[in-house]
Structure formats: C-alpha cells, structure tokens
Structure 1
Amino acid sequence: MANTPRIAVLVPCRNEAISISRVVDDFRAALPSAVIYVYNNNSTDNTEEIAREHGAIVRRETLPGKGNVVRRMFSDVEADIYVLVDGDGTYDARYAPQMIELLLREHLDMVNGARITDIEAAYRPGHRLGNSVLTGLVAKIFGSRIRDLLSGYRIFSRRFVKSFPAASHGFEIETELTVHALQLRMPLGEVDTPYRDREEGSTSKLNTYADGARILRTIILLVKDERPLLFFSLAAVFFFCLSIGLALPIALEFHRTHLVPRFPTAILAMGIMLLASLSLFCGLILDSVARGRAEVRRMRYLDVPFFEP
C-alpha cells in the first residue's frame, strides 16, 4: 500500500470558460499534491485552452452528457482517491481536504458534499424541491443515508470507482452513484458544503423538468433492476385491484340473477388477474437474479484494494 494516497480531481465540463480557471486554481491550492483532470464534453468556447493554461490535464469525451463523461473518467484515471466536482465553480474547494480526511479516517468509500446555501439564485426553489422529493424517494426505497442525492461534489475510494458499473448518460449519474453505494451497503459519509452562485455570464445546463423527469425515470429503472420484487409486487397489486374492480359488479349481478350480462368484461377481469399473478412470479424470479448480480458486484468491489498496491 502506498504511504501517500494519489489524489485525482475529476472535473467534467462543457462551456465553462468563465469558471474553469477558478475551479482549477482553487483545487490546486486546496490539494497541492492532486492531479487535476478536466474532461471537455464538446465545449464550443475556450474551456479546454484555459484549463490547460492553469495546469490541468485536459482530455475529451465526445459522447454528450455528464454520465458519459464520468464513465470515461472512471475508466481512464488511476488514483487512490477521486474528487468529483462540477466545473461551474459552485462548490468550495476548501472543503475537499476535510472530506478526504473523513474518507481516510473512517475508511469510507464515498463522502458526499451536501449543499447548503441562502443564495436563492444558486439553488433555485424548483431544484431544491425536486432534489428533496427525489432524495426522499430514494431514501424510502434504498435507505436513508444521504441527504443530497444530486450533489455534484463527491469523494470516492478507488474500490468504489473501479467497481462502479456506470450506465447513465446525463445528470442521472448522481442518482446511479448514490444507489450503487446504498445497494452494496458501502460505508458512506456526508459533509455540509457551501453552495455558491455561478459566475456572472455562466448558465446552468440542468433543465428542472426535463432532467427531473429523466432522474425519476432512472430511479424507477433502478428499482426494477435492484428491487424487482418490490417493483413487480406493486404492479401485481395494481392489476389485482383493477381486476377486482371490474369483476365485482359482475359477481354481484351473478349472485343476484345467476346471469353474466357483461361476458367480455368478465374475460378482461380474468386476463388482468392473470397479469397480476405473472407480475408476482416475475418479481420472485427476478429477485433471485438481482441477488446474484448484487453478489457479483460485491465480490468485484471486494476484489479492488482500497489503495492500489
């Protein structure tokens, strides 16, 4: 095990020429021994040139979307500790040493930077509400261990990064990172970090409604993949209630008159009840498959050392 851990600061960015110099300089000052990687995701301004002038290692990912950039960064960069931070200058680099110290002291795999701010323009009410709703939803399903699901400021161990099966394309990546940690019951931590307003002239790439819908879709798909028994049981309950709702008037009429006046509806109710049964059995079978997949991911996670020897 190396005596001094290698630290890599990973900065995904697109058209952040206004703020990238500040981000690189601030993290250079906060973490003098770290190597700073700026991954340019199809910028049309001079983000890449500015980052290189300020001493960052600049690489490119042409597939659009933050998820694609994070997948590439995690694949390419070799380090012991990874600092993932957005390139918009809204996160405070001075908290990085504290977060790294917590990760090392407690032997954690992820330390999340929970955003705190009184600046309304920095953390818009729509974003704040959406984050609270989505964080609460993930907490109910996968466990309540993270207060800020969508934070773009995180510290990871090597074994987290090298065992993370990134599948997301865009801003859903934060949800996938969190669920991966919760599903494998990794040791986690969280530190309150100030959240600043963007530099003047800089605009957010996050669309409140479109990206919120994509994140919600990602949560639903993760529930299907990671908690199939819950997902298909809910579907079974829905089909069961729908079938009973259709069949009950027919059953009452048959009890009263011994006639079946709406025969097609009776057939439909029976078909929907069969769907309920199939959904339940699918959930039971896929739950066993999901457990096997989780065991494989866990073994892969344990196979990666906390520090590279």
Structure 2
Amino acid sequence: MAVILPCYNEEAAIARTVADFRAALPTATIYVYDNNSSDRTAAVADAAGAIVRRERMQGKGHVVRRMFADVDADIYVMADGDETYDAGAAPELVQKLIDEQLDMVVGARRTEVDAAYRSGHKLGNKVLTGILAKLFGRSFNDILSGYRVFSRRFVKSFPVLSQGFEIETEISVHALELKMPVAEIVTDYGARPEGSTSKLSTYRDGWRILNTMMTLFRMERPVLFFGVIAALLTAISIILAVPLAITYAETGLVPRMPTAILCTGLVILATLSFFAGLILDTVVRGRRELRRLAYLTFPAPGE
C-alpha cells in the first residue's frame, strides 16, 4: 500500500501530515511528491521519514501523472500534503475499497470551520458537481476532493491529461466512463495550519475545471456534443428559411438570395457536424475499449 502526497510549499504542514498517515496506516509506504517548492518542504518531508520525489513541471496534474506512473502498489491513498484531510479516516476508506472490491473511494469533505472551506469554493464545487452530473448522467457529491483511495487497476489504466487542479474532474470522469465500482465516505476537512495557503484560485481554476469538463464531454460524448451543434444550426436555418418559403409560395420568387445561401450553408455545416460526431464516436469507443482492457489486466483489490 502506498500513501502519495502531492505538495507545494507546505513546510508548515508536511511533517505532521506524514506522521498522521504513518500512524493511521503503519504498513503503508509514504511518498511525498514535491512540486518545485521554494521552501524547505522536501527537506522536512525527508526528515519525517517519507520517500521524497520531485516533479519540476508545475501543476497538480503533472504531479499525479508522475506519481501514478512511478509508484507500484496494490492500493493507493492520495491526499494533499497540507494537513487538511483527516488521516484517521484512511483505514475506513481502504477497508471499504477492499471489502466491496471498488476501484475508487472518495473522501467527501465535511467541515464546520469556515476558514477550511471558503464559501466561494463550496458554491463552485456544488455548481461544478451539478454540471458534471448533467453532462455524464451521474456524479459524486464532492468531485473536487483531493482525498481518494484507488485500486491498482484504476491507477494503471488512467491516462492523465490534466495539468492543474482539474485533475480531480478528469479522475471522476475516467471512473464514470469506464463504469467502475466507486463509493464516497464523508470525512472531516480541517483548516490549514498557520503558514500554509491555498493554491486554488476560485475563478481561474474554476474556469479551467469547467473548460476541462466541456473538453472531456466533447471527447467522451461526441455524438451528443456535435449533435447539439447540428440541431442548433438546423434550427437557425429553418427559422431563416420559413419567410423565404412563404414568399416563394406566394410569388414564385426568392427575393433574399444571400439568406437562401446562408440557410444552405447552415444545413451543410449541420450535416458535417452530425457525421463528425458519428465518426468520432467510433474512435472514442476504440479508446475506451483499450482503457478497459488495460483495466482488466489487473486483479480487483484484495484478490
């Protein structure tokens, strides 16, 4: 079992985070992935007994890609190295993964401390979770939680594409699209210790997460994505063409030729969009099958 802790400038918290997870999971190997910190985070983590590795490309997505590629374990526990997640809940998360042979258990955050979970982050999480549910049919209660337990087959079948904090969204979509067995457990979420600051920007990162959702929706559901575009173009064309058709029926003339040409062009674009969706759907199915085959090469947790 491996506990993997991505961190950046968490000198104030990393030693206690390592100690807490070692106490909660004494048989696990603790890895700290330092994401180009400018303070003593790496040295403090090393002194605390963690295996310290570095990822020079800035961004949590880059760190997770490196962690998942480099670390070999049967079960992975991922949490931020800022002491906000309850390490004491880790055994329960791991046991649920094993008992129910799940591929991911999410630690949904619960807090009574306003400073721990800002109102803007709460609202953004709720909105983004709702959008994900609308786009992909189902979702989690906390898609942005960084506290997760994974099976080996999840980690080794997950082609990480994200660069920053949108990684949690990509993880959630990967689980949903491959229809993996997953679960959530509510866990406590605490305030950061003095000297530690949040790296998440409510608006900038919120926009990046929303953009990632739309990109993944286009990639994973191309028929629906391009079908909606085709329907909109067709509707606009029909609205513009109705007056022309009425005038033609009454006079036998087409007085607004540019509008007629525009309607024809919109219908052509709608047709191209629809067939682009059909073609891309075939590609997506092939990619999904490859990911599923990679997933099936590994045994279920506990076997």
* TM bucket, shorter chain: over 0.9
RMSD: 1.5
Gaps of 5+ in 2: none
Please report how far the alpha carbon of residue 250 of structure 1 lies from its aligned counterpart in structure 2 after TM superposition. Answer: 2.5
Instruction: Supply the distance in 2 between the matched residues of 1:233 and 1:221 (Cα, whole angstroms).
Output: 15
Residue number in structure 1 paired with 2:171: 177
- Comparing 206-215 with 285-294, greater Cα deviation is found at 285-294
1:109 equivalent in alignment to 2:103: yes
Please report how far the alpha carbon of residue 307 of structure 1 lies from its aligned counterpart in structure 2 after TM superposition. Answer: 5.8
Residue number in structure 2 paired with 1:297: 291
Instruction: Indicate conservation of the 8 Å contact 1:65/1:169, yes or no.
Output: yes
1:24 equivalent in alignment to 2:18: yes
Instruction: Supply the distance in 2 between the matched residues of 1:8 and 1:123 (Cα, whole angstroms).
Output: 27
Instruction: Supply the distance in 1 between the matched residues of 2:279 and 2:221 (Cα, whole angstroms).
Output: 12
- For the residue of structure 1 that corresponds to 2:180, the secondary structure is coil
- Comparing 212-221 with 256-265, greater Cα deviation is found at 256-265
Letter in 2 for 1:108: L
- After superposition, give the CA deviation of every residue in 1:146-177 in whole Å (9 maximum; x if it has no partner): 21111000000011111111111101110111
Q: How many percent of aligned residue pairs carry the same amino acid?
A: 60
Instruction: Indicate conservation of the 8 Å contact 1:163/1:304, yes or no.
Output: no
Please report how far the alpha carbon of residue 223 of structure 1 lies from its aligned counterpart in structure 2 after TM superposition. Answer: 0.9
Residue number in structure 2 paired with 1:4: none
Instruction: Indicate conservation of the 8 Å contact 2:234/2:266, yes or no.
Output: yes
Please report how far the alpha carbon of residue 85 of structure 1 lies from its aligned counterpart in structure 2 after TM superposition. Answer: 0.4
- For the residue of structure 2 that corresponds to 1:36, the secondary structure is strand
Match of 2:192 among 198, 202, 205: 198
Instruction: Indicate conservation of the 8 Å contact 2:101/2:301, yes or no.
Output: no
Match of 2:32 among 8, 13, 38: 38
Instruction: Supply the distance in 1 between the matched residues of 2:84 and 2:237 (Cα, whole angstroms).
Output: 52
Please report how far the alpha carbon of residue 275 of structure 1 lies from its aligned counterpart in structure 2 after TM superposition. Answer: 0.8
Residue number in structure 1 paired with 2:204: 210
Instruction: Supply the distance in 1 between the matched residues of 2:214 and 2:136 (Cα, whole angstroms).
Output: 12
Please report how far the alpha carbon of residue 308 of structure 1 lies from its aligned counterpart in structure 2 after TM superposition. Answer: 10
Instruction: Supply the distance in 2 between the matched residues of 1:83 and 1:222 (Cα, whole angstroms).
Output: 25
Please report how far the alpha carbon of residue 145 of structure 1 lies from its aligned counterpart in structure 2 after TM superposition. Answer: 4.4
Residue number in structure 2 paired with 1:134: 128
Instruction: Indicate conservation of the 8 Å contact 1:80/1:306, yes or no.
Output: no
Letter in 2 for 1:254: Y
Instruction: Supply the distance in 2 between the matched residues of 1:299 and 1:252 (Cα, whole angstroms).
Output: 56
1:93 equivalent in alignment to 2:87: yes
Instruction: Supply the distance in 2 between the matched residues of 1:104 and 1:145 (Cα, whole angstroms).
Output: 22
Residue number in structure 2 paired with 1:65: 59
Residue number in structure 2 paired with 1:257: 251
Instruction: Indicate conservation of the 8 Å contact 1:12/1:85, yes or no.
Output: yes
Please report how far the alpha carbon of residue 121 of structure 1 lies from its aligned counterpart in structure 2 after TM superposition. Answer: 1.9
Instruction: Supply the distance in 2 between the matched residues of 1:180 and 1:235 (Cα, whole angstroms).
Output: 24
- For the residue of structure 2 that corresponds to 1:306, the secondary structure is coil
Instruction: Supply the distance in 1 between the matched residues of 2:238 and 2:118 (Cα, whole angstroms).
Output: 45
Instruction: Indicate conservation of the 8 Å contact 2:102/2:301, yes or no.
Output: no
Instruction: Indicate conservation of the 8 Å contact 2:98/2:302, yes or no.
Output: no
Residue number in structure 1 paired with 2:261: 267
Please report how far the alpha carbon of residue 253 of structure 1 lies from its aligned counterpart in structure 2 after TM superposition. Answer: 3.0
Residue number in structure 2 paired with 1:3: none
Instruction: Supply the distance in 1 between the matched residues of 2:75 and 2:183 (Cα, whole angstroms).
Output: 14
Residue number in structure 1 paired with 2:278: 284
Letter in 1 for 2:48: H
Gaps of 5+ in 1: 1-6
Instruction: Indicate conservation of the 8 Å contact 1:86/1:152, yes or no.
Output: yes
When the two structures are aligned, how many residues end up with a matched partner?
303
Please report how far the alpha carbon of residue 246 of structure 1 lies from its aligned counterpart in structure 2 after TM superposition. Answer: 2.3
- For the residue of structure 1 that corresponds to 2:174, the secondary structure is helix
What TM-score does the superposition give when structure 2 sets the normalisation length? 0.96
Letter in 2 for 1:183: E
